[in-house]
Amino acid sequence: METYDSMLARISAAPGQGSRTILDPATGEPVGEAPVHTVDDLEHAIAAAAAAQPAWAALGHDARSAALLKAADAVERSAEELAQLLSREQGKPLNGPNARFEVGACAAWLRAAATTPLAPEMVVDDGETRAVLDYRPIGVVGAIGPWNWPMMITIWQIAPALRMGNAVVVKPSQNTPLSVLALAAVINDELPEGLLSVVSSGRDVGARLAEHPAIGKVMFTGSTAAGKSIIKSSAGTIKRLTLELGGNDAGIVLPDADPKAIAEGLFWGAFINTGQTCAALKRLYVHDDIYDGVCEELTKVAAAMPMGVGLDEANVLGPLQNRQQYDIVARLVEAARDSGARILLGGNPDPGQPGNFYPTTLVADIDNSNPLVAEEQFGPALPIIRYSTVDEAIRMANGVDVGLGASIWSPNLTAAREVAARLEAGTVWINTHGAVDPRIPFGGAKQSGYGLEFGVEGLKALGIPQVING
């Protein structure tokens, strides 16, 4: 097992056209040097992946799965070093559902991808016609990831791709390249050379990856605007796509819910990773009968959650990863304040504090058309909107052009499921929000993207269906 310093030295020494300094969003201090790759570097990575892929595919599912299980073991051996790096680069604390949690999820998803069964499907066998559906590798997959969960979402992309016999070229966010480079370095100790590469670069390389004729599929997690650009870039070669795009997830609290019982679940649904999660709860609709009670109990929970530098073991909330996102959150909260909305907690950042810290903020008595409600804030600010009838809440929840996730909160599961079925979202949780499971398919509706990840459906999405008829 290598040390934190040796891991950082290994990824900083990766070949590239120079390097750039990555800063800690909590302190502004240097974390390390990220290599700067070019389109030529991308071409070399794709060529190496294309050369390594046929032999990897020929190994078959059992051998590939065994390699992924070894990769999961390797991640666990380096878990603390990876979590320390992730905390410093992304900003999330070590504890809570944050850095150590994310690294643990990487190992869990590797194992799930390795052990999920996928047998050929007998479609017809009636004595006259025999048709079998199976999946063959795509070839080289391009994986473009975000800065909010850089390690975990990279694993969501590469683990099923590798299991299905593909090679992968990863393009991480420019904000968090070190985390992804380190994770890949650990995994590559268990994989054939050239099969998995990381190209740390800017948008020009990402655009080339999306249009490259040797890339058979692109997996992307990020904004809806960037997803639309990838669709356009990929059209010339008819690439397969899995797109997990922006969300503005609604939660609906039904009038029979107990405010105190659900307050902590609501908090973590909204503020996991300091609100920087695509499928976080971003709009909370609460019935008039219990509105004040939910506001009171949620404020108590939120006020008790410590925010600060991620390496401090006491903290469970961290900074926003970059200043651009900080400015978005600050603008939206100010728009809410200017409209006359009631600030229950937060909304008062300290301009003299180092780092991108925006305080945990709860905003009540806000109109549904307010920008803090209508736009995705992607940070630690939650608007709480009143409603009078369930039909009204459903109308407001469905009134945006995205639909990644949603949630219903009620002790009456039958009623909650009936409301859930009326929401326009890829996943609707009941009495929780944002919980993902490697066995359960996950994907968005409307402009939150298309394609499924996780489970059997996620494996199928990384293969080309082939029917043998006869």
- Secondary structure of 162-208 as H, E, C letters: HHCCCEEEEECCCCCHHHHHHHHHHHHCCCCCCCEEECCCCHHHHHH
Q: Given the residues 33, 102, 190, 278, select the one marked as catalytic.
A: 278
| CA angle 249–217–35, rounded 5-degree value | 85
Kindly name the residue from 76, 244, 297, 453 that is annotated as catalytic.
244
- Residue 225 pairs in a beta bridge with none
Residues 6+ apart with CB under 8 A from 447: 224, 245, 246, 401, 402, 403
Contacts of 142 (CB under 8 A, 6+ apart): 168, 169, 171, 209, 210, 212, 215, 217, 218, 219
Closest to 82 measured CA to CA, from 146, 156, 143, 3:
3
The CA-based angle 64-461-172, given to 5 degrees, is 75
Residues 336, 224, 209, 116, CA torsion sign:
positive
d(CA 184, CA 200): 12
| Beta bridge partner(s), residue 384 | 284
Residue 102 appears among annotated catalytic residues = no
Q: What is the DSSP letter of 105?
A: H
Is 81 a residue of the active site?
Answer: no
Q: Could you tell me the CA-to-CA distances from 386 to 123, 248, 266, 365, 382 in Å, in that order? A: 50, 17, 16, 7, 13
Provide the b/e sequence for 375-397 (b: ≥16 CB within 10 Å). bbbbbbbbbbbbbeebeebbebb
Helix %, strand %, coil % of the chain (to 5): 40, 20, 35
What is the distance between the alpha carbons of residues 113 and 152, in angstroms, rounded to a whole number? 13
Where would I find the H helices in 287-406? 291-303, 323-338, 371-374, 390-397
Q: Residue 329's closest CA among 316, 347, 342, 309? A: 347
Q: Give backbone dihedrals phi and psi of 329, rounded to 5 degrees, phi first.
A: -60, -45
First to last CA, the chain: 52
Which are the catalytic amino acids?
244, 278
